[in-house]
Amino acid sequence: MTTAPRTLTAPLDERGFALVLHGGAGGRVEELSLEVKADYDAGLAAAHRAGEEVLAAGGAALDAVCATVAALEDDPLFNAGRGAALTASGRAELDASVMTGDGAAGAVAASRWARNPVQAARAVMERTDHVLLVAPAAKLVRSWGLETVDPEHFVTEARLAQLRRVLAARQEAPRHGTVGAVAIDAEGRIAAATSTGGMVGQADGRVGDTPIIGAGTFARDGVIGVSCTGEGEAFLRGAVAHDVTARIAYAGQEPLAAIEATIAAELTARGASGGLIAAGPTGVVVAHNSPAMFAAYREGERLVTLT
């Protein structure tokens, strides 16, 4: 379901950096109880705090987005890591990507052993000559110095129940669960990271936009960083994250105009829904044409959480 696009913006922090995160875009928030909504608000705030502490201490944008996304992966409320949606056979197959504004990038798809797929994606970027690895083995993940877990760690009762409902009703699966973060640090470096469990009941082996550089994640110093969430196939076909960047870098559009144009052309016009977050020299943007989007960013001294 698509709605009229909604965009929110905020300038850089007075300390010269900015961080924005999302916890997915999708259905109407009226369906959430006040208690569950409070839990989402708390999870978003905790994840934002994890990344902001890095930036406030003078840390790099890459460290900030990885800390933020790892916190969301560890929270079972969100469709990434511990709270991942399950495939039709009841497996968790996790995707993640990271990119820095100097062009470095790494990603994993169908990851089953790394506790935090975003850290595995970073390891691909920093410890291999590759950009994307599919189903990295536990031995390889451990060789990177990362924590591994049994794949059952990601299979929660809540997600099993959700899978049973979707399969029993033969209903269309929710398509909007993803988490991500984008930051610009005090040195002007930009980084973006995205992580997901995919769609509920998806075919084993299905991969969406999240681990595809240019589709679900992109960053370019001096321009913008983008992390996407929504109907993955639409973001893949439209290379949405790169399209936003190209509109700014090559067509000279302002970030907000570029984002609105991309959503209109690549999502709304094609009957697809979702959203994205972005950060760059002018600040942060949250934009979506889905009924709702979970996100957090700082506006002055106030932390804004959207649920």
The set of catalytic residues is 178
Sheet with strand 224-230: strands edge to edge: 6-10, 283-288, 274-280, 224-230, 217-220
230 assigned binding-site residue: yes
Q: Is 231 known as a binding-site position?
A: yes
Q: Are 237 and 274 in contact (CB under 8 A)?
A: no
Q: Measure the CA–CA gap between 110 and 39, rounded to whole angstroms.
A: 28
Flag whether 229 is marked binding.
Answer: yes
Instruction: Find out whether 244 is annotated in a ligand binding site.
Output: no
- Give the Cβ contact number of residue 220 at 10 Å: 21
Residue 207 assigned to a binding site: yes
Q: If we measure between CA atoms, which residue out of 134, 156, 190 comes closest to residue 80?
A: 156
Query: How many CB atoms are located within 10 Å of the residue 187 CB?
Result: 12
Alpha-carbon distance of 233 to 213, in angstroms, equals 14
Give Cβ neighbours of residue 113 (< 8 Å, ≥ 6 apart): 136, 137, 138, 141, 148, 149, 151
The CA distance from 171 to 187, in Å, is: 48
Tell whether 208 is in a known binding site. yes
Among 48, 74, 76, CA closest to 297: 48
How far is the C-alpha of 53 from the C-alpha of 125, rounded, in Å? Answer: 23
DSSP 8-state assignment for residue 108: E
Q: Residues at the annotated binding site?
A: 206-209, 229-232
Q: Residues at the annotated binding site for substrate?
A: 206-209, 229-232
